[in-house]
Amino acid sequence: MTDRSVRRRILLSRDTLLGLVVVLLLAAVCVSLGLWQYGRFEDKRDRAAVIEENYDASPVPLVEAMPDPAAPLPDAQVWTPVEMQGSYCTEPGCVLYVRNRQLGGEVGFWQLVPFRGEDGTTLMVVRGWVPEDADASSPADPAPVPEGTLTVTARLRTAEPVLDRVPPEGQAHSVNPTQIASQLGLDTDAVVIGAFGELAEEEPAADRPQPLPAPETGLGPHLSYAFQWWIFALFFPGALIFRLRRQFQDLAAEEAEDAGTSRGDDEDGASGAIAPTGPHAATAPGSRIPARSGARVTADHRPRRAVRARRRGQDEEEEDALIDQQQP
């Protein structure tokens, strides 16, 4: 079997094909996870860019940021400061507290109040964070809502989704303007549906709950995680290639060893053998004269003369005779 056919058999073997399927699946999973992490990085990058552009910008009229109060808030307008003149709804039941809001590791409430502008448009405004009463699931000493005409600057945020849970009296589970307007009995046609406001400042200034912190603009480790997953995706094909390369190297080593053994056998067969000695020694082929004892038969079947043993010296013979005389 030729080297090419053996290598083809290794490449098309069941183990290699099964390993290839596993490698493709694992690589696809790693690539998908890398793309998912890269997508999260892009989302955070775009969100951070919008925050940096809008958060400290000069306030604009609400109608400029949201021409249609019923339309969703565009992504490019998130955190845009808007300025309104009007008054808060200070009637009983108008002030709501949004549950399960954290600040500095503590759970509390957002104080949520409808603010009605002079043009009749109502914007839900979160005035700040209120700690939770330790004895009951209710806000502890919330600041009063100011009365009268004010100029409010608030940053627009996207409306939260509706939660299908009945909240306690005077509280809410999420800041969804449609749900809040229905809960307070307000006319939804005049309410900004797609956004709510996070209070930046009031004029004249009044007591207010603790202001909410600025949003995070960090990008997180998502980009590095994406590259790590993509490196993992390259590892599996590399491992398969390394395994096949080792198999080919082992095959080449075995073939080299077999070739060396075959050459050694050929050399031993071509070399001459020692002819037998003794009274029954065989005669050399092609000759009637028996081969001498200890003679080596050459490749042309001619015996070589054996080396004769040297004669014993006179001193050695005298020593042997002396030893024989001493024995009884």
Question: Residue range 87-110: average pLDDT?
Answer: 92
Are residues 177 and 272 located together in one domain of the fold? Answer: no
Are residues 188 and 65 located together in one domain of the fold? Answer: yes
Residue 302: inside a domain, yes or no?
A: no
* Mean pLDDT score of the chain: 82
- Higher confidence at residue 238 or residue 135? 238
What tokens were used for 40? 């999260």
Q: Which of 9-13, 15-19, 137-141 has the lowest mean pLDDT?
A: 9-13
CA 194, distance to chain mean position in Å, is: 36
CA dihedral 9, 13, 15, 17 (to 10 degrees): 120
Question: Residue range 209-222: average pLDDT?
Answer: 91
Are residues 126 and 182 located together in one domain of the fold? Answer: yes
pLDDT at 270: 55
pLDDT at 140: 87
Q: 8 pLDDT band (50/70/90 cuts)?
A: confident
Are residues 162 and 136 located together in one domain of the fold? Answer: yes
What tokens were used for 152? 């409010």
Residue 131 exposure: Cα atoms within 13 Å on the Cβ side = 8
Are residues 185 and 248 located together in one domain of the fold? Answer: no
Are residues 255 and 152 located together in one domain of the fold? Answer: no
Domain end among 203, 233, 252 = 203
User: CA nearest 98: which of 265, 13, 212, 268?
Assistant: 212
What tokens were used for 232? 């993992």
Residue 48: inside a domain, yes or no?
A: yes
Q: How far apart are CA 108 and CA 102, in angstroms?
A: 6
Domain end among 177, 203, 229 = 203
Are residues 89 and 224 located together in one domain of the fold? Answer: no
Are residues 74 and 141 located together in one domain of the fold? Answer: yes
Residue 154: inside a domain, yes or no?
A: yes
Q: How many domains does the chain have?
A: 2
User: CA nearest 178: which of 194, 202, 167?
Assistant: 194
Q: 135 pLDDT band (50/70/90 cuts)?
A: confident
pLDDT at 287: 45
Residue 322: inside a domain, yes or no?
A: no
Are residues 107 and 98 in contact, defined by beta-carbon separation less than 8 angstroms? no
Query: Phi/psi at 281 (nearest 5 deg)?
Result: -65, 140
Highest mean pLDDT among 2-11, 23-32, 241-250: 23-32
pLDDT at 125: 97
Share of the chain above pLDDT 70, in %: 77
pLDDT at 9: 74
Q: Which of 7-16, 49-58, 87-96, 238-247 has the lowest mean pLDDT?
A: 7-16
Are residues 50 and 66 located together in one domain of the fold? Answer: no
Q: 90 pLDDT band (50/70/90 cuts)?
A: confident
| Per-residue pLDDT at 291 exceeds 50 | no
Question: Residue range 65-75: average pLDDT?
Answer: 90
What tokens were used for 172? 């809410």
Are residues 41 and 155 located together in one domain of the fold? Answer: no
pLDDT at 263: 62
pLDDT at 312: 56
pLDDT at 292: 45
Q: 264 pLDDT band (50/70/90 cuts)?
A: low
Q: How far apart are CA 211 and CA 153, in angstroms?
A: 13
**Parent domain of 267:** 13-55+217-291
DSSP 8-class letter at 139: B
Domain end among 176, 203, 230 = 203
Q: Which of 12-21, 202-211, 221-230 has the lowest mean pLDDT?
A: 12-21
DSSP 8-class letter at 76: G
Are residues 32 and 82 located together in one domain of the fold? Answer: no
Residue 321: inside a domain, yes or no?
A: no
Residue 324: inside a domain, yes or no?
A: no
pLDDT at 327: 59
Q: 306 pLDDT band (50/70/90 cuts)?
A: very low
Residue 315: inside a domain, yes or no?
A: no
Are residues 94 and 137 located together in one domain of the fold? Answer: yes
pLDDT at 17: 84
Residue 38: inside a domain, yes or no?
A: yes
Q: 243 pLDDT band (50/70/90 cuts)?
A: confident
pLDDT at 293: 45
